[in-house]
Amino acid sequence: MNFNKPIYSVLYSVGFWSNSENLDGTAALKIKDSNGNWTQMTNLLSLQLNARGQGLKRYSNYFPNGIYGLKFECTATATGSRNMGRLSIDDIVFGMKAGSNDNNYYITNYRKTVA
């Protein structure tokens, strides 16, 4: 995702698609700065993720200088004929106000709603 205006915080839920995923490569959250450079923000595999059926874990990040892009990137070795290297990403909320107080309010008070 690319943004025309800076994003100062992001709240997201993430986990494995199932208990039998084979993510033997990488799973990372990457961000783009105002100069168009992508850098890795978080190694998602180091977060001890749940499977989707166990409930996705919620994470948040604050960016004092703002970001202009966000992407989730996964790699896994292809084995067999089944899709076995999947993440489930849900419920992404972006904060567009500078200053940690405003963004902490959104992150702390956000509640997922059911449609």
Looking at the domain assignment, is residue 89 inside a domain?
yes
Question: What does each of the 115 residues of the chain score in pLDDT, given as a tens digit?
Answer: 899 999 998 888 888 777 766 667 788 999 999 999 999 998 888 888 877 788 888 888 888 899 999 999 887 776 666 666 678 888 888 888 766 555 555 555 555 544 3
Angstrom distance (rounded) from CA 30 to CA 85: 18
Predicted structure pTM score: 0.75
From the list 19, 106, 22, the residue with the least C-alpha distance to 62 is: 106
Kindly state whether residue 30 falls inside one of the protein's structural domains: yes
Q: Is residue 82 part of a domain?
A: yes
- Structural domain of residue 25, as residue ranges? 2-109
Contact call for residues 85 and 48 (beta carbons, < 8 A): no
Number of compact structural domains in the chain: 1
Decide if 114 is inside a domain: no
* Residue 22 pLDDT: 60
The answer to whether position 115 is within a domain reads no
The alpha-carbon radius of gyration of the chain (Å, integer) is 15
